[in-house]
Amino acid sequence: MSWKPDIAKLQARDDAEWRAVEEKYGGRLLAYAQRRTGGDVQAAEDVLQETMLGAVRGIAKFDSKYTFEQYLFGIVRNRSIDFLRRRKLRTLLGDEEREDFPDLDAFIHEADTPSAIVRGNELSERATTLLVEILKEWVDETWRQGEHKRLAVLEALFAAGWRNRDVWRYFGLRDETAVAGIKFRAIKRLQQLAAVAESGGDLLRFLADAQDGGGRMLDLDVQAVWSDRQVSCRDRATLKELLDGKASAGIKAYFGFHLRELECAPCRANLDDLAGDLERVDALVAGLEGAAGKGS
């Protein structure tokens, strides 16, 4: 079982708990930052340091609807963006002009918490929270059933926003009708899960809109929520099995899409941390090419 910090201790600035956070999460955050900064190790280390400082500053406002890992990845993503913006601005200004703008950070908007991760969402906060819950429940249910290819198909539709004909061709399905059938059954199941959690309300209405072909939920809501809340990311034990070559063909097929096409940064960062070798992970992911069209 993955270690989770005691948020109350973190909010009380408990040094031992914060040291444990650095030990447990530092590797994956550094790996993520290194890829985001183009392999610049020094820049990645600076981003990691800024991330930990941001985490300490923002922990008092920690929102429990996020996991702690999501909280950290939200910060490291913002810090990586800040770095890239500063680097671009320095390039545009040049050495001489840069002297006139000594504090480039003044041009960068900073956010210490992932509160802006889900933005532009027409669903209410209550419905968004419910949406995350039922999506995760559906993903876990599908995974337990061994329907890894079906999960990848729904990722393509819900998370990547692919069109039916592109999904059909990529996954080698019978035709677009087969894709529509998978989508239809998934939405019906989401409706059932939502009905159990909440009788009526916003989410059921949005699910109904999607079912009727309006696509409103799929286009505007699920795509953002799926990636920002890491709905389909698997635990480190599963990633370790993939890394060690112990994963089933179906799981390899799923990750062929999740890592190559969806380009899931948190899962890639966890693999980098587990492997301790970016090139090894690059080779692993490259070897999954085309696998998503195969397996169960």
Of the pLDDT bands very low, low, confident and very high (cuts 50, 70, 90), residue 282 is very high
Of the pLDDT bands very low, low, confident and very high (cuts 50, 70, 90), residue 189 is confident
pLDDT digits (tens, 9 = 90+) for 67-102: 899 889 889 888 888 888 777 655 554 544 444 433
Token couple for 69: 């890992």
Of the pLDDT bands very low, low, confident and very high (cuts 50, 70, 90), residue 46 is confident
- 204 and 250 in a single domain? The answer is no
Residue 173: inside a domain: yes
Q: Give the domain-ending residue among 76, 99, 116.
A: 116
Residue 1: inside a domain: no
Residue with the two structure tokens 């920690």: 62
Residue 20: inside a domain: yes
Residue 193 has a pLDDT of: 82
Residue 15 has a pLDDT of: 86
Residue with the two structure tokens 């039922």: 134
What's the mean pLDDT in 153-164? Answer: 89
- 62 and 131 in a single domain? The answer is no
CA atoms of 273 and 49, how far apart (whole Å): 17
Residue 81 has a pLDDT of: 85
Of the pLDDT bands very low, low, confident and very high (cuts 50, 70, 90), residue 185 is confident
Residue 198: inside a domain: yes
Domain containing 181: what range? 125-228
- 212 and 184 in a single domain? The answer is yes
User: Which of 252, 263, 261, 260 minimizes the C-alpha distance to 296?
Assistant: 252
- The residue with greater pLDDT, 131 or 58, is 58
Q: Give the domain-ending residue among 76, 92, 116.
A: 116
CA atoms of 36 and 140, how far apart (whole Å): 29
- 78 and 102 in a single domain? The answer is yes
- The residue with greater pLDDT, 85 or 59, is 59
State the total domains in the chain.
3
Of the pLDDT bands very low, low, confident and very high (cuts 50, 70, 90), residue 64 is confident
Percent pLDDT > 90 in the chain is 32
Residue 247: inside a domain: yes
Does residue 171 have a pLDDT over 80?
yes
CA atoms of 169 and 12, how far apart (whole Å): 53
Contact in structure between 114 and 75 (CB atoms under 8 Å): yes
- 163 and 259 in a single domain? The answer is no
- 81 and 157 in a single domain? The answer is no
Token couple for 287: 């070897």
Residue 208 has a pLDDT of: 53
- Predicted structure pTM score: 0.62
Beta strands in the chain (DSSP E): none
- 219 and 133 in a single domain? The answer is yes
* Secondary-structure percent of the chain, ordered helix, strand, coil, rounded to 5: 75, 0, 25
Does residue 247 have a pLDDT over 90?
yes
What's the mean pLDDT in 2-28? Answer: 90
- 248 and 159 in a single domain? The answer is no
Token couple for 106: 């003044």
- 110 and 27 in a single domain? The answer is yes
- 148 and 204 in a single domain? The answer is yes
Residue 236 has a pLDDT of: 93
The highest-confidence range among 55-59, 88-92, 227-231, by mean pLDDT, is 55-59
Of the pLDDT bands very low, low, confident and very high (cuts 50, 70, 90), residue 20 is very high
Of the pLDDT bands very low, low, confident and very high (cuts 50, 70, 90), residue 109 is very low
Contact in structure between 206 and 217 (CB atoms under 8 Å): yes
102, 130, 163 from 209: Cα distances, Å? 52, 17, 18
pLDDT digits (tens, 9 = 90+) for 119-128: 333 445 666 7
- 240 and 224 in a single domain? The answer is no
Distance of CA 10 to the CA centre of its chain: 24
Token couple for 221: 């809501």
- 195 and 245 in a single domain? The answer is no
Q: Give the domain-ending residue among 116, 133, 154.
A: 116
Residue 202: inside a domain: yes
Mean pLDDT of the chain: 78
Residue 83 has a pLDDT of: 81
Residue 254: inside a domain: yes
Domain with 76 in it: what CATH number?
Answer: 1.10.1740
Residue 67 has a pLDDT of: 87
CA atoms of 176 and 149, how far apart (whole Å): 16
Q: How many beta carbons lie within 10 A of that of residue 43, not counting itself?
A: 19
